[in-house]
Structure 1
């Protein structure tokens, strides 16, 4: 019995940690979307809307794919409130932020790491096979950024030469392997999210890019 109770406490701790990571991911992607909206001189509603879609678009797609209806973005008020509050915070305090372009990239990288981890785990928990879970994890991570870029009139990052979706897919594979080896503790998952974020930022700094077709 003690071991069972210990397992339950461990599961509760992991679930709480994943919820926290999910909400942090929502906040950073909302801030990323809102910052992009501010750069494009959108009004208050426009900034909040882009922030909301950037934060929750990928998660909505994920939930619809795995059959989690209604999606968490609408079923749990904390997600929508977190996204809107973060977006409004950026709108009101953006004069204090210098060079918004750099914060957008950093926040986007952080959101990529967090959403890759949580999206992959939710797909695995829903019984999706490993390959499908990796793809869903990637879609969760890139969906919000894709919607943000389309709404602000930018060529989506995922379609450029930048290393973006590939990083998310690699991270999703790592998460799936960790789950298969029963090494998916809160610490290893946090380290994986940091690794994804770090690789994305290094790729930006080093200007790594995927190959393109010869003219």
Structure 2
């Protein structure tokens, strides 16, 4: 599944980079800012993962092909931003697609580096959400992972856990990998559609929050 992993990884970089360039367009950044923000979100999660794995030069810098998707994304958004902005939540859709792919590839890279299945799933989660957090912080926006609307980390963790499990028992292939990505993407989008939320960090009543 090596070639499929590379394709998934590059598609994930592209989808995330589009979300970064779209946010840059919304904030009226110039084309250089669009490219930089797209590169940060597209490559940030993978770089963090590779640094933790102590795997030498991060693959984003070791393989120049990883720099192509952010450039393509910046060009696409530059010419077609006025079109895609007509559609609701385009940024979130591209973000969800990138997250769905990265939770798989991040887990596989970690397993290949010799990490145990649990640690690999955690690193897969970090790969999936890390770039988005970097994008939103740099753009001075509330990161998607901290917003109440919809589920974010939970679908990514589910996808990473399923990837780790299926890879460990030898059932992971192109078909099952695509199914996991589709499941993660669908869960993210459905949770946004119906307003599903994770349980709050602490139970508080109106009186507790407004009294004294």
TM-score in terms of structure 1 length: 0.90
Displacement after TM superposition at 1:98 (Å): 3.2
In structure 2, relative to structure 1, the CA distance for the partners of 1:70 and 1:153 (3 Å cut) is same
Q: CA deviation at 1:101?
A: 5.2
Deviations 1:22-69 (A, max 9, x none): 101111000011001101111111111100001000000011111222
Is 1:207 paired with 2:195?
A: yes
Runs ≥4 residues deviating over 4 A: none
Give the deviation of 1:100 after TM superposition.
Answer: 5.8
Structure 2 regions of 5+ residues with no counterpart? none
Alignment correspondent of 2:184: 196
Q: Note the alpha carbon deviations across 1:156-187, whole angstroms, 9 max, x for none.
A: 11122231011111111111110122101111
Q: CA deviation at 1:82?
A: 1.5
| CA RMSD, Structure 1 to Structure 2 (Å) | 1.2
Q: Which residue of 1 aligns with 2:21?
A: 34
User: In structure 1, what is the equivalent of residue 43 of structure 2?
Assistant: 56
Aligned counterparts of 1:125 and 1:200: Cα–Cα separation in 2: 27
Aligned partners of 2:117 and 2:168 also within 8 Å: no
Aligned counterparts of 1:98 and 1:182: Cα–Cα separation in 2: 42
Matched, 1:159 2:150: no
Could you give the per-residue CA deviations for residues 69-95 of structure 1, whole angstroms, max 9, x where no partner exists?
A: 211111111101221221222122212
Q: TM-score, normalised by structure 2?
A: 0.92
Task: Give the gaps of 5 or more residues in structure 1.
Answer: 1-13
Contact preservation (8 Å) 1:35, 1:100: no
Q: Distance in 2 between matches of 1:131 and 1:101?
A: 36
Q: Are 2:122 and 1:135 aligned?
A: yes
Aligned length: 202
Q: What is the rounded CA distance, in whole Å, between the counterparts of 2:76 and 2:66 in structure 1?
A: 15
Q: Select which of 78, 87, 92 maps to 1:91.
A: 78
SS in 2 for 1:140: helix
Query: 2:54 matched to 1:67?
Result: yes
